Amino acid sequence: MTGVYEELVWRGLVAQTTDEAALRAALEAGPITVYCGFDPTAPSLHFGNLVQLILLRHLQRAGHRVIGLVGGSTGLIGDPRPTSERVLKTKEQTAADVERIAVQVARILDVDPDNPPVFVNNLDWTAPISAIDFLRDYGKHFRVNQMIRKDAVAARLESEQGISYTEFSYQILQALDYLHLYREYGCTLQTGAQDQWGNITAGTDLIHRATGGSAHALTTPLITDSSGRKFGKSEGNAVWLDPAMTSPYAFYQYWLNVEDASVVTLLKVFTDRGADEIEDLARQVRDEPFRRAAQRTLAADVTTLVHGAQATEAVVNASAALFGSGSLSVLDQGTLLDATRELPGTPGEPGMGLVDAMVAAGLVDSRNAGRRVIADGGVSVNNIKVADGEAVLGDADFLHGEVCLLKRGRKSLAVVRRR
């Protein structure tokens, strides 16, 4: 690979560009200024936003200036969905989400102190514009026949609900962002997901019409698994970057459970591993898939990027303790609760018989079956083998005063949660 553009292509981070040859030449001649926008449609960024942040990191490391835009104004409107109108959030809700997302963007783009990112909020230049100025200075450059061709807009126009002028105007607002950054920062590249192509090219068109200049667009492909299912959804829930919405343990487990057919693709997209390292991991997937070396590398790298090395160490220790023989006592309270949150279990208190707890938690069908499994050496409490069929759970068995881990064999786990 001879340049950053070739690396982006190799990593699977390029879906569309306005002029590939011109963009490659601009990146090689650089540095250029590039931006990506993040709307506060939720209190946190998610899996899909992470793709864009990683793309910016590659460009930033190559010496290009990066702008992270958080949409204080576009977030008040909402990019049209093909299905239904968005429920508008209050200005206060949007402002609070802007602050949280700005922190996430800043942390992930903290790559090089000699080439720090620039952070902007589009409310700063949009709010002062009057309705008359908006229509005269920007609206005049847009043609409705082109605007209605956007997929989401076209789908809504065909629906019974239709589309409000509020959401219809969204692409003008996003285009205005690109024009402003072009004028103020010399920004000549906007990046985004593939479904943002129409909005991004609206910006390149506005720059040309308003200034006579030219600018570039680059989108990333939709990341899917081998069956074509969109990554970033886990049983219907988004994979969030905020630890309060997707815990570091759940985040790590999501990546650890990636299928073999997809893990090499995701290593290219989401990690900084080079071609030789990824080829070696691909070989291990082929020859020793049971070791899951590629998945462990992927999970550790992405969790460290988003949550930090300390959080990654904690969740790796938690996984080892839950599914191996490691000590649960080394886990902090938050990690322990996160790691056991999805396990089956039962409420209980100190003084509860171990056999009764096993029956209540669903590890055995009857008290007699529980005693037999214990006698055979197949039961542990907090990873400590128990041989006494009459054992009773004590205060010390409830780690951090809250949960007690029961294990039958190596893979059947349950918890007793203190009432």
What is the domain-level CATH number for residue 309?
A: 1.10.240.10
The count of structural domains within the chain is 3
Q: How far apart are CA 228 and CA 188, in angstroms?
A: 33
Residues 201, 312: Cα–Cα separation, whole Å: 39
Residues 6+ apart with CB under 8 A from 302: 50, 251, 255, 270, 271
The whole model's pTM is what?
Answer: 0.87
CATH number assigned to the domain comprising residue 404:
3.10.290.10
Is residue 227 situated within a structural domain? no
The Cα 279–Cα 285 span in angstroms is 10
- Within 10 angstroms of residue 252's Cβ, the number of other Cβ atoms is 29
Length of the chain: 419
Please name every residue paired with 234 in a beta bridge, in sequence order, or none if there are none. Answer: 237
Read off the pLDDT of residues 108-166 as tens digits, 9 standing for 90 and up.
998 888 999 999 999 999 999 999 999 999 999 988 888 888 878 888 888 878 888 88
Token pair 């007793």 in the structure block, residue: 416
**In degrees rounded to 5, what are phi and psi of residue 38?**
-130, 115
Compute the distance between CA of residue 321 and CA of residue 328 in angstroms, rounded to an integer: 6
Pairing relation of β-strands 65-70 and 33-38? Answer: parallel
Q: Of 199, 110, 218, which is closest to residue 153 (Cα–Cα)? A: 199
150 and 209 co-located in one domain: yes
Give every CB contact of residue 344 below 8 A, 6+ residues apart in sequence: 361, 362, 413, 414, 415
pLDDT band at residue 4, thresholds of 50, 70 and 90? very high
Q: Within a domain: residue 336? A: no
Between 66 and 327, residue with greater pLDDT: 66
Q: What is the pLDDT of residues 92-107, one digit of tens each?
A: 999 999 999 999 999 9
Domain contains 110: yes
Domain of 173?
4-220
Residues 28, 168 within the same domain: yes
Would the CA dihedral through 238, 239, 241, 242 be positive or negative? positive
Higher pLDDT, 82 or 107: 107
Q: How many CB atoms lie within 10 A of CB 273?
A: 18
| Residue 339: inside a domain | no
> Residue 333: inside a domain, yes or no?
no
Mean pLDDT over the full length of the chain:
92
Identify the domain boundary among 220, 247, 282: 220
Query: 123 and 160, same structural domain?
Result: yes
What pLDDT score does 176 carry? 97
Q: Tell me: the pLDDT tens digits for 24-53?
A: 999 999 899 999 999 998 899 998 899 999
- As beta bridge partners, residue 17 has 218
Hey, what long-range contacts does 315-319 have (CB within 8 A, 24 or more apart)?
315/248, 315/249, 315/251, 315/252, 315/253, 315/339, 316/252, 318/249, 319/249, 319/252, 319/253, 319/256
- List pLDDT tens digits, range 362-386: 999 999 999 999 999 999 999 999 9
- The predicted pLDDT at position 183 comes to 98
First and final CA of the chain: distance in angstroms? 59
Q: Is residue 14 part of a domain?
A: yes
